[in-house]
């Protein structure tokens, strides 16, 4: 059994400590805390997953939070830690000492999420599925949920639905919630779905469980509406319960607003990993032609709906793999917002060959962002702007908005 003090927060939300056995990564521990436990070695490193906290951080958040909230710290104390994660990645991974704009806080530290997914607990109610063990952590409430999702959570706790999981997607703009029922049979759920719409849900779909991930199998509408409109700063866009849209629309809207002010404008713009094309639609007045590339059929469908509603005739959606962007030619601006793994080698190579005047890079992982920025800087670009954004209060996750120029 080791007793030691946590030194700092590192990527992945772990506290780092240096002990006589070596570096230990501690889950849920905050910088400065004295903890005790028996670390276990996995993947070549020492991990302590359930530490006993002997001396707590003075700013440790006193109220219950869901297990996903791995940064239980007073909100104003979270921000410098997140900014430090981005700065450390820039210096350590990208080998750059470029200036970093101050982190932009979330407009709401709590009650900010407009999307969530929960397992049904065997004893009733809703539960959080722990990532590695898949154990269920039963929840009485989730303070991260925005209204009206908090209402939906309370309703669903009492409904004995024969499903594996429930998914929620709400709209702050419309004040409505969509519900996804994952597992069970669609025929048996048609009547409960209609009753749930009468209860106040805007719409209900059924989704087949899939080992490929959330909503990767069949999806069948059961009752009510399929989509809602949400405001992302200056833009209103379509969201659905199966969509991968930002879960903090107020923070995402602030990022979009700033992104619009950073770019020059020009003749052609390309957005890779476009989703439903928020950046393409936002920037369409600044460019003659905008191409949005996305692999998801559902996201492209919503993007086309928004394009037609907004009258953005110069925006074109292409359903294709971003790694094949080479075939699209040259652009004045390329926007990239990749998954946590960052840009694959093919996309980095395309950017360095096509050499757009500007690259607007939005990232949800500072380490892979810094890796890619370092490669682009070595290829002749300079990091003209970078700012962390807090999209996920009470978690270690942090978003980065950045602009590279030739």
pLDDT digits (tens, 9 = 90+) for 1-41: 899 999 999 988 899 999 999 999 999 899 999 999 999 99
Parse the chain into domains and list their residue ranges.
2-58, 80-107+248-405, 115-230
pLDDT for res 44: 84
pLDDT for res 188: 94
Residues above pLDDT 70, as percent of the chain: 100
pLDDT for res 214: 77
Average pLDDT over residues 55-84: 95
Residues above pLDDT 90, as percent of the chain: 90
pLDDT for res 108: 97
**Same fold? 2-58, 115-230:** yes
Residues with catalytic function: 364
Average pLDDT over residues 304-333: 96
pLDDT tens profile 119-153: 999 989 999 988 766 789 999 999 999 999 999 99
Out of 1.10.1740.10, 2.60.40.10, 3.40.50.720, 2.40.50.1070, the CATH code matching 115-230 is 2.40.50.1070
pLDDT for res 11: 86
Q: What is the assigned CATH class of domain 2-58? A: mainly beta
Average pLDDT over residues 351-360: 97
Res. 215: pLDDT tops 90: no
pLDDT for res 257: 97
Res. 243: pLDDT tops 90: no
Average pLDDT over residues 382-387: 98
Res. 206: pLDDT tops 90: yes
How would residue 245 be classed by pLDDT, with cut points 50, 70 and 90?
A: confident
Res. 273: pLDDT tops 90: yes
Nearest CA to 231 among 285, 150, 171?
171
User: What value does the mean pLDDT of the chain take?
Assistant: 95
pLDDT for res 137: 93
pTM of the model: 0.94
Domain 80-107+248-405: homologous superfamily in CATH: Vaccinia Virus protein VP39 (3.40.50.150)
Res. 118: pLDDT tops 90: yes
């Amino acid at each position: 059994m080791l007793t030691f003090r946590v030194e700092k927060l590192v990527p992945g939300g772990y506290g780092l400590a240096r002990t006589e056995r070596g570096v230990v990564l501690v889950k849920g521990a905050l910088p400065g805390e004295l903890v005790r436990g028996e670390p276990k070695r996995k993947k070549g490193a020492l991990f302590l997953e359930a530490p006993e906290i002997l001396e707590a951080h003075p700013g440790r958040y006193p109220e219950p939070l869901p297990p996903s909230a791995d940064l239980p710290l007073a909100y104003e104390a979270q921000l410098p830690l997140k900014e430090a994660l981005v700065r450390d990645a820039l210096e350590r991974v990208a080998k750059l000492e470029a200036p970093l704009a101050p982190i932009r806080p979330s407009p709401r530290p709590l009650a900010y999420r407009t999307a969530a997914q929960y397992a049904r607990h065997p004893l009733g109610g809703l539960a959080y599925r722990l990532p590695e063990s898949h154990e269920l952590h039963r929840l009485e409430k989730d303070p991260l949920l925005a209204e009206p999702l908090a209402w939906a959570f309370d309703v669903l706790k009492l409904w004995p639905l024969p499903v594996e999981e429930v998914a929620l997607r709400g709209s702050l703009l419309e004040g409505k919630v969509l519900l996804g029922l994952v597992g069970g049979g669609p025929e048996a759920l048609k009547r409960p779905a209609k009753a749930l719409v009468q209860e106040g849900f805007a719409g209900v779909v059924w989704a087949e469980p899939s080992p490929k991930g959330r909503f990767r199998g069949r999806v069948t509408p059961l009752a009510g509406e399929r989509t809602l409109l949400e405001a992302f700063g200056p833009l209103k866009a379509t969201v659905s319960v199966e969509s991968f849209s930002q879960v903090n629309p107020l923070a995402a809207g602030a990022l979009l607003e700033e992104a619009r002010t950073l770019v020059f404008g020009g003749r052609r713009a390309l957005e890779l990993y476009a989703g439903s094309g928020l950046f393409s639609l936002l920037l369409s007045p600044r460019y003659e032609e905008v191409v949005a590339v996305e692999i998801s059929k559902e996201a492209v469908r919503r993007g086309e709906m928004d394009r037609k509603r907004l009258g953005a005739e110069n925006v074109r959606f292409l359903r294709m793999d971003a790694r094949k962007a080479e075939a699209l030619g040259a652009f004045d601006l390329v926007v990239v917002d990749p998954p946590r793994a960052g840009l694959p080698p093919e996309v980095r190579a395309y950017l360095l060959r096509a050499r757009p005047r500007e690259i607007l890079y939005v990232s949800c992982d500072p380490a892979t962002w810094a890796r890619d920025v370092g490669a682009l800087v070595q290829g002749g670009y300079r990091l003209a702007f970078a700012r962390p954004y807090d999209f996920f209060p009470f978690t270690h996750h942090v978003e980065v908005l950045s602009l590279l120029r030739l």
